[in-house]
């Protein structure tokens, strides 16, 4: 803790944001004056980890957490300290681990779930390397949830209405916002690589440099909050909904992943001659075998499943292929040391800790169980059958029934996650949509 205390003094920090990621991947926590940060224990109600995206709780609350609604303890991570560049006074944010009274990782902590998966790799002498690609939309601000989202007005005084992929001028429309975003990212030590204009109107993608999975999850968690704040300072919203506009493509978070030997740093997916080996095949086999059960972590909201339709740049089946973007499991062209797999299932609305944990868990199971993959797809995977679940309710049932994922992600956690997602689906299912009123009111 001396490292944290010295860092706070070095930066003349007045206030500390004590943060944890909740089940949705959003920031929860409390403000603590810097001079009191180490003078008292930081606690939060553990019920925070069982709350839905709408603020409700599933009926299974008592079975999972008991009736007391007790406290959990927050342990600061000195590797997850950052300045808050938009704060008026010198402020720090520190991501904490959630622990039980006896110091163990809390079973419902999403950051804890990722740490448990990484511990399995560490036991094998392996270290995962990931690189996320985060897509998002800029949209006009609105306070009316019935108002259809629209692209915002850019510097030209006009809104983008057509798709202009990789167009520099489209990004320059929002140059002040983008410059401020990159400035905040630099001050917060986020390893951002490049920004591109994506397929949708005012849709962009930010790529992160590859690195440690826990660190990258912390960075994506921090970036989402940073971009939302930066966008609001410039009079627009940034949204990480998976499918915010019906006429535009969805937003994903593709996850590039490889595994290196912890001692030598060599990529374990290739042999001494640089050829793909059985660990590589089995990793892909694991992704194929367990992805449908892991879908609630890649598509965690009712809106998420609007991405999975033919020909809209989201995968619909378990096919894999070399440099084939119609597949959900893509192997990019690379050198042998950079041999990696790209998981294209995840939407950008994921909790990054859980999405990383899920994809690494699937690959780990494939390697440990020796799962052989299918033959690679060379054609258009959209021409094959739809294999992914199309609703949150279906996906949650598949996760609930998968004992292999339960065993390594934690039975208590899976019980809680499935309960929350079932609760959210039932809440959504109670809402009558405009489509139903339009087409069924007088026609059935």
The pLDDT tens digits for 232-245 are 999 999 999 999 99
User: Averaged over 101-127, what is the pLDDT?
Assistant: 97
- In this prediction, what percent of the chain has a pLDDT beyond 90? 87
Residue with tokens 């499943």: 305
Q: Give the per-residue pLDDT at 100.
A: 95
The pLDDT tens digits for 270-298 are 999 999 999 999 999 999 999 999 999 99
Confidence of residue 158 (pLDDT cuts 50, 70, 90): confident
pLDDT > 80? residue 310: no
Residues 6 or more apart in contact with residue 42 via CB below 8 angstroms: 18, 30, 32, 73, 74, 76, 96
Q: Give the per-residue pLDDT at 159.
A: 77
Mean pLDDT of the chain: 94
pTM: 0.96
Dihedral Cα 389, 428, 301, 177, nearest 10 deg: 140
pLDDT > 70? residue 68: yes
Residue 314 and residue 307 in contact, taking contact as beta carbons nearer than 8 Å? yes
Residue 327 and residue 372 in contact, taking contact as beta carbons nearer than 8 Å? no
Among 145-159, 398-412, 415-429, name the one with the lowest average pLDDT: 145-159
Q: Give the per-residue pLDDT at 168.
A: 76
User: Averaged over 425-433, what is the pLDDT?
Assistant: 96
Confidence of residue 162 (pLDDT cuts 50, 70, 90): low
Confidence of residue 40 (pLDDT cuts 50, 70, 90): confident
CA dist list (Å): 405 to 182, 290, 329, 344, 399? 37, 8, 19, 20, 8
Residue 239 and residue 137 in contact, taking contact as beta carbons nearer than 8 Å? yes
Q: Report all structural domains of the chain as residue ranges with CATH numbers, in order of start.
A: 2-106 (3.10.20.70), 119-409 (3.30.590.10)
Residue with tokens 């690609």: 133
pLDDT > 90? residue 182: yes
The pLDDT tens digits for 75-95 are 999 999 999 999 999 999 999
Among 101-105, 107-111, 170-174, 357-361, name the one with the lowest average pLDDT: 170-174
CA pair distance 361, 25, nearest whole angstrom: 18
Residue 295 and residue 395 in contact, taking contact as beta carbons nearer than 8 Å? yes
Q: Give the per-residue pLDDT at 311.
A: 64
Q: Give the per-residue pLDDT at 440.
A: 97
Q: Give the per-residue pLDDT at 163.
A: 62
Give the burial class of 383: count Cβ atoms within 10 A of its Cβ; 0-12 exposed, 13-18 middle, 19 or more buried: exposed
The pLDDT tens digits for 317-338 are 999 999 999 999 999 999 999 9
User: Averaged over 206-222, what is the pLDDT?
Assistant: 97
Among 172-181, 305-314, 315-324, 369-378, name the one with the lowest average pLDDT: 305-314
Q: Give the per-residue pLDDT at 7.
A: 95
Q: Give the per-residue pLDDT at 80.
A: 97
CA pair distance 444, 439, nearest whole angstrom: 8
pLDDT > 70? residue 195: yes
Residue in 286, 344, 297 with CA at minimum distance from that of residue 317: 344
């Amino acid at each position: 803790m001396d490292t944290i205390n010295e860092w706070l003094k070095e930066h003349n920090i007045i206030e500390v944001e004590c943060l944890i990621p909740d089940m949705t991947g959003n920031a929860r926590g409390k403000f603590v004056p810097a001079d009191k940060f180490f003078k008292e224990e930081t606690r939060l109600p553990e019920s925070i980890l069982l709350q839905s995206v709408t603020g409700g709780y599933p009926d299974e609350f008592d079975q999972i957490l008991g009736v007391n609604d007790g406290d959990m303890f927050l342990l600061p991570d000195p590797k997850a300290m950052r300045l808050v560049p938009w704060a008026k006074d010198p402020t720090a944010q520190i991501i904490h681990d959630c622990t039980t009274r006896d110091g163990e990782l809390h079973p419902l902590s999403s950051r804890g779930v990722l740490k448990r998966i990484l511990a399995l790799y560490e036991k094998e002498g392996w270290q995962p390397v990931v690189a996320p690609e985060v897509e998002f939309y800029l949209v006009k601000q609105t306070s009316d949830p019935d108002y259809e989202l629209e692209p915002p007005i850019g510097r030209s005084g006009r809104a983008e209405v057509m798709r202009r992929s990789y167009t520099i001028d489209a990004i320059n429309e929002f140059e002040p916002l983008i410059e401020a975003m990159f400035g905040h990212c630099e001050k917060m030590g986020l390893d951002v690589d490049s920004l591109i204009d994506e397929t949708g109107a005012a849709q962009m993608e930010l790529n992160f440099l590859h690195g440690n999975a826990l660190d990258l999850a912390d960075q994506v968690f921090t970036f989402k909050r940073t971009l939302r704040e930066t966008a609001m300072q410039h009079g627009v919203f940034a949204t990480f909904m998976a499918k915010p506009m019906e006429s535009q493509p969805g937003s994903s978070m593709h996850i590039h992943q490889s595994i290196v030997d912890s001692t030598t740093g060599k990529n374990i997916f290739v042999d001494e001659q640089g050829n793909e080996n059985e660990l590589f095949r089995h990793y892909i086999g694991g992704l194929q075998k367990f992805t449908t059960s892991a879908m609630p972590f890649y598509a965690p909201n009712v809106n998420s499943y609007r991405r999975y339709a033919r020909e809209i740049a989201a995968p619909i089946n378990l096919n894999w292929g070399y440099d084939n973007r119609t597949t959900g499991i893509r192997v990019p062209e690379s050198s042998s040391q950079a041999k990696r797999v790209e998981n294209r299932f995840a939407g950008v609305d994921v909790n990054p800790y859980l999405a990383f944990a899920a994809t690494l868990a699937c690959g780990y199971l494939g390697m440990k169980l020796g799962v052989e993959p299918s033959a690679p797809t060379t054609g258009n995977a959209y021409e094959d059958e739809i294999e992914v679940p199309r609703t949150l309710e279906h996906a949650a049932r598949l996760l609930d029934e998968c004992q292999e994922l339960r065993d390594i992600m934690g039975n208590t956690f899976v019980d809680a996650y499935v309960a929350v997602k079932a609760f959210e689906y039932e809440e959504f299912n109670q809402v009558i949509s405009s489509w139903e009123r339009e087409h069924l009111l007088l026609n059935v």
